[in-house]
């Protein structure tokens, strides 16, 4: 009897092991996971961090959910092995949050998430006409075009267009542009990562960034510079850390990183500098007459470089200016055109809408300020240009900005009782894997300012990869089983 019981126990253990391993290995190439916030999932974590993500509770019907009141919040998709693709389905409740998105981690230093739309209440509320093509929607304030192809062929002024997860297919050109051999010098300190655009015609893309590692924070400070034409990579250079990775170490020497890309066709090229806030760009030299910064401009302090702070003048195409500083000494009055934007405290963001026309002149008396807008910055009025339409944001004022067309790749969520369902697909080969998991973020821009709450009721994942050879799989399972059995 004892032997029979022992055999049954061993057989049950082997069966459980084989079943679990079969699920984890997913020989069919498919794996499904679902988390409904009622019990711990081996594949999907709850939302973090606390403060932005509320504790899990149940609603009046007994349905568990986790609320978010700040953004972004994060979860991890833990996987037993590599997969190629995933379709995420999010079940949520959202009363008045304008934009809700989900994205996978694509890069670190700084963190970059490849976001996909879940809900856009701005688009859902529009009473504009709509035309469609291959998942692309053109919203028109006044019906002008019958087909999207005609829209691209007879493109309206770009300052009348906004985009949302879509791009204008018509190449950008500056009529009558002629290159200039003179070097444009930007003698201002910029801190951390920035995205630049430079216009090129019958000339090389030629930019020199003079960088300095201030070594204020612990950890390495590599610099990666990538050049893109639309979404296509064109060139990349970079450098590793200077070797000083402790906190408050001696600052490094200012030195040049020279970017030269010859033989490019005419057009606007995006230059992305990815690094940490320990890296300061102390000076830029470029032969491009048109040279701008997209969306975020971080004017660095001069401590350890110059004896005195210097005022900085920039020009912007943006209509809503947001500004903040990281230091108490950075409190200042930022001039926005003829109006004042006061920044009385650190770690608080202050905003002002531009009342006149654009471009608008901004004057910072001392630097050490981060300025954000939905548009572009330049260090001279002549250098300013707008290579891409504005991106539809949660606080975009369509009337104030004169937007008459919106180009979007977006599907509204589906109603499911009191909840909404939306899905998003990701190529896992283009996302970062960390400790057998892929980090994801749920973004709700403006949620803190609007004092909104979004409730997340379920996260489901449909994973795919190439099917596994059964013979190889059984061999692997047997080897694992042998290692588990008592000797």
Question: For the ranges 297-301, 315-319, 442-446, which has the lowest average pLDDT?
Answer: 297-301
Q: What angle do CA 259, 265, 269 make, to 5 degrees?
A: 50
pLDDT tens per residue, range 179-204: 988 999 999 999 999 999 999 999 99
Q: What is the pLDDT of residue 25?
A: 56
Categorize the per-residue pLDDT at 4 as very low, low, confident or very high, splitting at 50, 70 and 90. Answer: low
Q: What is the pLDDT of residue 110?
A: 81
Which has more confidence, 429 or 217?
429
| Contact (CB, 8 A) for 442 and 100 | yes
Q: What is the pLDDT of residue 96?
A: 97
The percentage of residues in the chain with a pLDDT greater than 90, rounded to a whole number, is 76
pLDDT higher than threshold 50 for residue 17: no
CA gap 484, 296 in Å, rounded: 54
Question: For the ranges 63-67, 145-149, 153-157, 217-221, which has the lowest average pLDDT?
Answer: 217-221
Q: What is the pLDDT of residue 250?
A: 84
pLDDT higher than threshold 50 for residue 8: no
| Contact (CB, 8 A) for 100 and 119 | yes
| Contact (CB, 8 A) for 343 and 369 | yes
Any residues with CB less than 8 A from the CB of 374 and at least 6 apart, and which? 295, 318, 319, 320, 390, 391, 393, 395, 396
The size of the chain, in residues, is 487
Categorize the per-residue pLDDT at 149 as very low, low, confident or very high, splitting at 50, 70 and 90. Answer: very high
pLDDT higher than threshold 80 for residue 113: yes
Collapse the DSSP code of 3 into the 3-class scheme (helix H, G, I; strand E, B; otherwise coil) and give the result. helix
* Most confident of the following: 88-102, 105-119, 211-225, 274-288: 88-102
Query: Looking at domain 30-122+411-464, which CATH architecture does it have?
Result: Sandwich (2.60)
Q: What is the pLDDT of residue 20?
A: 46
Any residues with CB less than 8 A from the CB of 13 and at least 6 apart, and which? none
């Amino acid at each position: 009897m004892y032997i029979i019981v022992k055999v049954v126990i061993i057989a049950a253990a082997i069966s459980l092991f084989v079943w679990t391993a079969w699920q984890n290995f997913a020989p069919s190439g498919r794996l499904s996971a679902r988390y409904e916030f009622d019990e711990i999932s081996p594949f999907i974590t709850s939302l973090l961090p606390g403060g932005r993500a509320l504790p899990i509770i149940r609603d009046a019907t007994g349905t568990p959910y986790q609320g978010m009141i700040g953004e972004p919040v994060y979860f991890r998709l833990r996987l037993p092995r590599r997969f190629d693709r995933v379709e995420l389905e999010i079940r949520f409740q959202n009363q008045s949050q304008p934009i809700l998105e989900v994205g996978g981690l694509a890069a670190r230093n700084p963190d970059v998430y490849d976001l996909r739309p879940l809900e856009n209440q701005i688009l859902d509320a529009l009473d504009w006409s709509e035309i469609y093509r291959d998942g692309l929607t053109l919203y028109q304030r006044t019906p002008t075009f019958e087909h999207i192809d005609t829209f691209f062929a007879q493109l309206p002024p770009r300052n009348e267009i906004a985009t949302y997860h879509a791009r204008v297919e018509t190449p950008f050109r500056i009529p009558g542009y002629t290159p200039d051999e003179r070097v444009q010098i930007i003698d201002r300190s910029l801190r951390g990562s920035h995205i630049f655009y430079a216009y090129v015609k019958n000339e090389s893309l030629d930019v020199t960034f003079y960088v300095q590692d201030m070594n204020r924070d612990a950890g390495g400070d590599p610099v990666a510079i990538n050049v893109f034409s639309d979404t296509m990579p064109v060139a990349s250079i970079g450098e590793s850390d200077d070797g000083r990775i402790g906190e408050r170490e001696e600052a490094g020497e200012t030195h040049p990183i020279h970017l030269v890309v010859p033989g490019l066709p005419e057009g606007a090229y995006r230059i992305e500098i990815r690094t940490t806030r320990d890296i300061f760009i102390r000076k830029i030299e470029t032969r491009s007459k048109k040279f701008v910064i997209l969306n975020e401009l971080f004017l660095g302090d001069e401590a350890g470089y110059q004896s005195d702070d210097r005022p900085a003048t920039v020009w912007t195409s943006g209509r809503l200016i947001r500004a903040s500083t990281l230091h108490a000494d950075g409190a200042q009055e930022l001039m926005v055109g003829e109006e004042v934007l006061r920044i009385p405290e650190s770690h608080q963001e202050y905003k002002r809408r531009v009342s006149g026309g654009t471009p608008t002149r901004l004057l910072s008396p001392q630097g050490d300020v981060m300025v954000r807008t939905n548009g572009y910055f330049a260090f001279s009025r002549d250098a300013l240009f707008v290579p891409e339409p504005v991106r539809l944001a949660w606080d975009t004022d369509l009337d104030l900005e004169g937007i008459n067309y919106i180009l979007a790749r977006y599907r509204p969520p589906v109603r499911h009782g009191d909840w909404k369902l939306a899905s998003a697909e990701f190529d896992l080969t283009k996302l970062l894997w960390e400790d057998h998991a892929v980090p994801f973020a749920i973004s709700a821009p403006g949620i803190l300012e609007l004092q909104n709450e979004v409730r997340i009721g379920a996260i489901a994942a449909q994973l795919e990869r190439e099917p596994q050879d059964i013979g190889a799989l059984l061999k692997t399972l047997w080897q694992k089983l042998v290692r588990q059995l008592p000797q």
